[in-house]
Structure 1
Amino acid sequence: MMSTGERSTILMLATTKSSTTTAEPESTTTITTTTEEAGLSSNLPWSTTGIALLSALTRLSCTRLFIDSDDTLYGVDKDRHYVWKLSKNAKYATVVAGVHESIGSNSVKLNYSEDVYVDRHGSIYVLDTNNHRVQKFMNGTTHAITIAGLTGSGGCSLNQLYYPRGFAFDPTDTFMYIADRSCHRVVRFLTNSTSGTDGIVVAGTGTGIPDNTNETLNGPWSIRYLSSIHYGLLIVNHNGHSVIRWPLGATSGTFVAGLPGISCSNSTCLFEPADVRIDDNLNMYVVEQKNHRVQMFCKDSNVSVTVVGNGTPGNSPTQLDGPRGMAFDSEMNMYVCDTGSKRVQKFLKR
């Protein structure tokens, strides 16, 4: 086991495609999506065959990814309680926050880390889910400060979080927006706090009661800041099988993907979505944990096409198993946390 201050190389970069051995599916899901339904040609924008960057050999449990302006890839490992980074063209990944396979609640350790973000100054923000807090590791430091969830105990008061699952930041890194799953809300905090402050509820009722109306949230897992659309938020309702767009300052949102409260596998609905991204053309991408795929929704469309995964769980190069996060690099190559297969898959842009 590493000491708390150690930075050790632990993850190997695979140079071949992932194993073609297919895991035994838990269930069979019928996918009815077609490229024609989404208004796309038969040639999808990405290769459907993934390349394993970080594979099961590392016992990886990836949940979310972040890529900075230098195409450095960061990821969180929920079960081993640390954050890793893989520089562009590097062969190895290194630990940059937390202690590998060591759980804790002090300023060095993490407990079930779920999301990561790196600001322009190199500070690393980690969503420390089971400690009900957000930790900020200032550039190069191994000891973090708590900037949200100061009590360290779960709850729905304004100085608490309750199993938060995802966060997002505005373009100036002034505000942090947290998908507070068990309180069914999004809470805003300042990023420059050194001692923790109370949050402000900006989406959801804040009562801790889930629902599938456009004024409530249902188990939010992921969130994206939309500076190009009226400065709003894209919020993934994991339990509500939907994505809702919520303008800042509003008391309600508009569902833009999925059928609220209904799970299925066709081109207009979702099954436990886990992450969302949007590109420069305002196309939206949703990672579906239970449908084992990534769906693309073209701008202003609620009909999707499957771009990654075939709908059945497995570890072949064309399959995903319970994916939970994704990111794009500067060339729009797609990276997916293939959580159930314990790997990160890279899908090349065509």
Structure 2
Amino acid sequence: MTQYALPNIPLHARWTQNGVTIAGGHGEGNASNQLPCPLGLYVHDDQTVVIAGSVNHRIVEWKTDATSGQVVAGGNGEGNRTDQLNDPTDVIVDKDTDSLIICDRRNRRVMRWPRRSRTSGETIIEEIDCWGLTMDDERFLYVPDYQKDEVRRYRVEETKGTAVAGGNGRGDHLNQLNYPTYVFVDRDHSVYVSDNENHRVMKWHKGAKEGIVVAGGRGKGNALTQLSYPNGVFVDPLGTVYVADCWNDRVMRWYNGATQGNVIVGGNGRGQQANQLDCPVGLSFDRHGNLYVADCGNHRIQRFSIEAR
């Protein structure tokens, strides 16, 4: 998610435990009302959701209360042409250029796709094993490389980038990462990254040589001190970390400086009921503080409304 405006989520906010399916929920397939294994997502101010659908090699947009989505990038089969994608895993919107920025994972590239034409995109970063991406308020692009175990920052039109997290080989030391997936950047330009196979979320202050653990880091497990293959990550202005705890089928909140988290949605066993998740991957919030979760195994996007104080 592009960090132009963040919701002011109250410190002890609560969300409804039964989610509402706002996209997909009709199983696997290529129909316009289906969303097989959604991964990354971006939420507009009007609650329109843009979703990376890796299985269908397309990016789809679902407007509020819509019963089907519209393909806005890809959708022309698996491939590496400029009008094709291959297993896209994340998408953000660059408002300044009115375009989508897409991690086209299996093509090992990051693409810019104009929202007006929708017919084809252009490669802006090549030969990168990306999974997630984000952009800060100065329009720097941040992209984890899960093979090089680092996060790189790119200026507009820059193709090489600079390592800002990891880059010291695969491992679990504080200056290392192990299969980084999704990334978030706060207003101070600190980088938060889901260190997937270390089962932790790391924070790297701007210019730091090593990171600090802000969620998990106690090995793989389902205790409140642990995560299991974390993916989507979001940080609010108070420094509270929200993370999609994929293999534990829950979304957790870790307060700034906390040594354990708490479950805010899910955590009721793997399943397809309204209060259950099946390997959540991407997550985001709208400007009202409502939570959106890419419920990969259930092939749907769930919205959990924030409760009034």
Do they superpose with TM above 0.5?
Answer: yes
**Does the alignment pair 1:202 with 2:164?**
yes
Q: TM-score, normalised by structure 2?
A: 0.88
User: What is the match of residue 134 of structure 1?
Assistant: 110
Aligned to 1:161, which of 112, 128, 133? Answer: 128
Distance in 1 separating the partners of 2:165 and 2:286: 29
Could you list the runs of 4 or more consecutive aligned residues of structure 1 that deviate by over 3 angstroms after TM superposition?
A: 88-92
- CA separation of 1:93 and 1:59: change in aligned 2, threshold 3 A: closer
Q: How does 1:1-350 map to 2 (within 5 A)?
A: 45-57=14-26, 58-99=34-75, 102-121=77-96, 122-141=98-117, 142-149=119-126, 160-162=127-129, 164-173=130-139, 175-191=140-156, 193=157, 197-205=159-167, 209-227=169-187, 230-259=188-217, 262-350=219-307
Distance in 1 separating the partners of 2:207 and 2:262: 32
Deviation for aligned residue 1:99: 1.2
User: What is the match of residue 9 of structure 1?
Assistant: none
Distance in 2 separating the partners of 1:53 and 1:70: 14
Distance in 2 separating the partners of 1:257 and 1:345: 23
Question: What amino acid sits opposite 1:178 in the alignment?
Answer: V
8 Å contact 1:291–1:311 — kept in the other structure?
Answer: no
Deviation for aligned residue 1:84: 0.8
Which stretch shows the higher mean deviation, 89-98 or 107-116? 89-98
Unaligned runs of 5+ in 2: 1-10, 27-33
| Residues 225-258 of structure 1: per-residue CA shift (max 9 Å, x gap) | 111xx42100110011001100122211111111
Distance in 2 separating the partners of 1:210 and 1:114: 22
8 Å contact 2:22–2:65 — kept in the other structure?
Answer: no
Q: TM-score, normalised by structure 1?
A: 0.78
Deviation for aligned residue 1:311: 4.5
Q: Secondary structure at the match of 2:86?
A: coil
| Residues 10-66 of structure 1: per-residue CA shift (max 9 Å, x gap) | xxxxxxxxxxxxxxxxxxxxxxxxxxxxxx97xx61001011112331142200111
8 Å contact 2:57–2:88 — kept in the other structure?
Answer: yes
Question: What amino acid sits opposite 2:79 in the alignment?
Answer: G
Distance in 2 separating the partners of 1:56 and 1:92: 10
8 Å contact 1:148–1:189 — kept in the other structure?
Answer: no
Deviation for aligned residue 1:90: 3.8
User: What is the match of residue 13 of structure 1?
Assistant: none
| Residues 181-218 of structure 1: per-residue CA shift (max 9 Å, x gap) | 11111112223x2xx62222221125xx3111111111
Distance in 2 separating the partners of 1:215 and 1:320: 32
Distance in 1 separating the partners of 2:295 and 2:159: 35
Deviation for aligned residue 1:267: 0.9
Q: Secondary structure at the match of 1:324?
A: strand
Q: Secondary structure at the match of 1:183?
A: coil
Q: Secondary structure at the match of 1:239?
A: helix
Distance in 2 separating the partners of 1:84 and 1:270: 29
| Fraction of identical pairs, as percent | 27
Number of aligned pairs?
288
Q: Secondary structure at the match of 1:315?
A: coil
Distance in 1 separating the partners of 2:245 and 2:268: 9
Question: What amino acid sits opposite 2:134 in the alignment?
Answer: A
Across the aligned residues of Structure 1 and Structure 2, the Cα RMSD in angstroms comes to 1.7
Distance in 2 separating the partners of 1:216 and 1:48: 36
Deviation for aligned residue 1:70: 3.0
Distance in 1 separating the partners of 2:55 and 2:212: 34
Which stretch shows the higher mean deviation, 286-295 or 251-260? 251-260
8 Å contact 2:57–2:75 — kept in the other structure?
Answer: yes
Unaligned runs of 5+ in 1: 1-39, 150-159
Question: What amino acid sits opposite 1:187 in the alignment?
Answer: R
